[in-house]
Chains A and B, each alone.
Chain A
């Protein structure tokens, strides 16, 4: 395995996991907010479903997404199976419930009277939500970190819907599985160290952001 190939695998891992985390944030932040602040029929059921989704086995997600995107499947005409896009879809399904559930928990931990106080100072509903997000920024960043962590480290779904195709859909986790199955433990260890390093660096950056903001309010 060449350095160029390792760099390409690493970059693809970051792209797929980063995009999946971003999309999960775009879904999870509003959904979690709705679950925390909303008062509608079926809220408890939806919250339970999201909480259950936080523990979805990646292989099960991979199976369902593979069946949907399979050439003869209902979404087969999109030709997404064994592409990075398929991997992003599967990872969004894994991470979105994590971000939603932790967002809901973060906002529910705030004093419920704070909403009334903000409205009583003339906040529009959107301004109120933004102020609550700002107030819960520490646990919300933790939700983002958990979402990223759940996808950068998963292997089952990426393997099943991406196919681990060299130079196309091979990411760090699937490459580790392959190198291990070949008995190339040295390569597997290098890839593993890279995966760990990347995860650490991303979380370190987010933690600095989280704790730095905390210090300066």
Chain B
């Protein structure tokens, strides 16, 4: 049986500039992969491309061996993306977490059940009726994560999930996230600058970087 996700010969341009090349990447179901590299190495571009939101100039992305559905609505609804900024909507926490479920037209009772479950698991159930604009950075981050986990995605893409948090908040959230990821078995790719986050959360690491000329991206898997 093949890999859950397989990327081959990827080349992505943004604004006419080649920002990412990736020869080959595979990830197995349930695996947690960290993507590291300096600013501008293409980490966010990789996540956006895997999410089907940036079209590569070249290359293929196969989810469970299938390439044909890449970028379609069905493809995008198999995964969830959490961007570096929380980007919550000016609604209640409950409504923010329910957003993706409403996009999928799930029944009201199912939305209620799943939102309550994930608010509980991320320890923010007491914030359910709070407006997003009234949250602290750590609370907002938990809401952003709950908004993705509630979708029970097959692939979770996290762009520097802890970068905007202070150290104690970051450590608490890392512990909680590790517990949730291990329990749910969600295939996860996250980007980070932190080696401690890699050690704490990831099973494998993909390093993106620039060559000496600063033009061609390189990759190495550890």
Contacts and interface: CB of A to CB of B under 8 A. Distances in A.
B180 interface: no
A117 interface: yes
Interface in B130-152: 131-132, 147-148, 151
Interface string B68-106: 000001001101111101010111100100011001100
B103 A116 contact: no
Given A113-B85, A113-B87, A135-B89, A123 B103 contact: yes
Chain B CB within 10 A, most for which of A122, A123, A131, A217: A122
A127 B89 CA distance: 14
B81 A121 contact: yes
A7 B171 CA distance: 69
Given A111-B87, A121-B148, A217-B92, A116 B99 contact: no
Contacts of A124: 73, 103
A114 interface: yes
B18 interface: no
Interface of A: 111, 113-114, 116-124, 127, 131, 134-135, 217
State which size class the interface on B falls in: 20 to 34
Q: Is the interface of A mostly helix, strand, loop or mixed?
A: helix
A122 B74 CA distance: 8
A120 B83 contact: yes
Given A111-B87, A116-B48, A131-B99, 17 more contacts: A111-B85, A113-B83, A113-B87, A116-B53, A116-B81, A117-B83, A119-B53, A120-B51, A120-B81, A120-B82, A121-B100, A121-B147, A122-B151, A123-B103, A124-B103, A135-B90, A217-B95
